[in-house]
Structure 1
Amino acid sequence: MEVIEMALSPCCTELDENGRELNAHGTAAFPIACYHDQLEIDPVPWHWHEELEVLVVTEGTVLAAAGGEKCALPVGDGIFINAGVLHADWPASAVPCGLRSMVFHPRLVGGSADSVFWQKYLQPLLTDPTRPCAVLHREIPWQRQALEAMERAYRAVVNEVPGYEFKARAALSEMIWQLVTHAPSARPIPKKALRSADRIKRMLQYIQDHYAEDVSVDQIAASASISASECLRCFHDMIGTTPNQYLRDRRAQRAAELLCGTGLSVTEIAGQCGFQDGSYFARSFRQVYGCGPTAYRRKARRAAGG
């Protein structure tokens, strides 16, 4: 992940006690952040945040999931993700796969809650249960305009051109206008799906808090006050995996962060991430990242020039 002053930020998703992302996107005065992710190295795990997000694929094919929908996005296409929507991104294959994204608070465009911008445009979008996300294809004119507006905002913030705050806000306002006026409404999300989404958020919270411990499916289910069988159904329906697979992936992701950011030994990292057996750690890590922990650390150091 490249870092250019405040504008292009490293993406390291951490969650709070409600499963909400902890990352601060920008500042209180200018609540926006730009990211560039290489997904074959660091897939974006399931998470949610109160900010809006829009991303565009720069390399390879991205599998994006949000609001119970999954889609394959080629280079040039993107997706808008509404506030509070559970989402994740990962590569379609082992080839290089990248995306650019912007995460910004609705008030950057909408202003205060009593403004016409908020009341007429932002509030209806934020509270519309039929619009958890919107896929954006280059070949559709209004969607291309929305993507181009996003890219203007991205370039303004990353390059910090004179008056970039105004330029970014204006471009994002244009993007929101395209979404509000053109994006078709989907079918309303069923109450059962909304209930499952709330349960998933609580269970992901529990895994985030306890991934370094010996965690069982029963414990994960209890964190949402449901049965183990209902827990399995929620994971299958909402994020297409099992609790144990998600737990393994979260542990492997944390291990990857420690391999890149610390000098801890592989054995120490395995223990800190909940892997009590070294061979199981190596096998699990390889399943997620395509190589063993030592090789991953070596690749990361070479990429960083170390």
Structure 2
Amino acid sequence: MGQNTIAINQQFQEITEQRSGALPVQYYLTAFHALVDGRLPWHWHDEVQWVVMLQGEAEFYINNDSCTVKQGEALFINSGRLHAAHHGVLPSEYLCINVDPSFLIPEALHETYLTPFITATNFSWIRIPAESLWGKTIMRSLLSLQHLLEEKPFHFELQAFTVLNNVWRHTIGHEPILTYHPAQEREEQAMKQMLGWIQRHYAESLRLEDIAQAGSLSRSECCRYFQRILQTTPMSYVKEYRLQKSMELLQASKTSVTDIAFQVGFSSASHFIEPFVGISI
């Protein structure tokens, strides 16, 4: 199964049917060169996610952290975390497995071995090294899970549950003492609200005050949040998002450059064309 684009709703939440048959699990292969501008845009989803880098390498951004994942390595991204990615110098491809957290272990164990890890603010992601025994176990298990979901042998659902239980056990077994900071949680929620507002209104004339208001923040707080989490300014992000949407339109339609420029919110075609100098579409 391949996936070269992701659908995102107005809160920047990824829209996917996270199921393989009756299982709350989805897997897909993504090649970065097939994505618009070789980038995976900022988004989030309720499912936990494991990424196995099959070829090349990629830089992943999770909240205000970044992590390089090379061929043979894997990455765990927790539920609800904002993240984005772009490929490195070489062509890259990865296997992505998204799972409803409630399916990882029996419900009777959620309070002890699930909820504390899903809600901990210091457990946003883990790089899974290829050279470690536990890392090899996780990656071997994820690839076997892919095989199960593709072949669907008799009672594969039970086997998949067992595999995921093992993957989760090894994933949480290498995390330090869990912490929860309400202020960090509020910051992440505010970012989701502001990004969602930009997605709904990017084609309009946007002001910093409007973006800040979407997150119930002052202008200065809004700028600090964007700089700390996305390493950019709010208005620079708006420009980047408009360019991302315009490239999708350029690839999918025969609409003129001038019309696309106005569709995505640029005030003139010249303002739209300038950032494309040196970019291959």
* TM more than 0.5: yes
Q: Does the 8 Å contact 1:131/1:186 carry over to 2?
A: no
Residue 282 of structure 1 aligns to a residue whose secondary structure is: helix
Distance 1:107 1:286 in 2: 47
Q: Which residue of 11, 15, 40 maps to 2:9?
A: 15
Distance 2:258 2:222 in 1: 31
TM-score, with structure 2 as normaliser: 0.87
Distance 1:240 1:173, change over 3 A: same
How big is the shift at 1:53?
0.6
AA at the equivalent of 1:202: Q
How big is the shift at 1:256?
2.8
TM-score, with structure 1 as normaliser: 0.80
In the alignment, structure 1 residue 56 sits paired with structure 2 residue 52: yes
Aligned pairs for 1:1-306 (under 5 A) are 4=1, 8-16=2-10, 18-26=11-19, 29-42=22-35, 43-93=39-89, 95-110=90-105, 115-157=107-149, 159-163=150-154, 164-180=156-172, 182-185=173-176, 188=179, 190-285=181-276, 290-291=279-280, 296=281
Aligned residues: 277
Q: Does the 8 Å contact 2:190/2:215 carry over to 1?
A: yes
Unaligned runs of 5+ in 2: none
Distance 1:216 1:55 in 2: 36
AA at the equivalent of 2:270: S
Q: Does the 8 Å contact 1:56/1:77 carry over to 2?
A: yes
AA at the equivalent of 2:233: T
Residue 30 of structure 1 aligns to a residue whose secondary structure is: coil
Distance 1:223 1:127, change over 3 A: closer
Distance 1:215 1:27, change over 3 A: farther
Q: Does the 8 Å contact 1:11/1:35 carry over to 2?
A: no
Q: Does the 8 Å contact 1:77/1:138 carry over to 2?
A: yes
Distance 2:93 2:272 in 1: 27
How big is the shift at 1:225?
2.1
Q: Does the 8 Å contact 1:19/1:208 carry over to 2?
A: yes
Distance 1:121 1:257, change over 3 A: same
AA at the equivalent of 1:20: Q
How big is the shift at 1:141?
1.0
Distance 2:254 2:151 in 1: 34
* Percent sequence identity over aligned pairs: 26
Cα deviation, 1:217-272, whole Å, max 9, x if unaligned, reads 22111211222221111011112122122212222222233333344343333332
Cα deviation, 1:30-66, whole Å, max 9, x if unaligned, reads 2222222233442111111111111022222211122
Residue 131 of structure 1 aligns to a residue whose secondary structure is: coil
Distance 2:201 2:276 in 1: 19
Q: Does the 8 Å contact 1:58/1:98 carry over to 2?
A: yes
Unaligned runs of 5+ in 1: 297-306
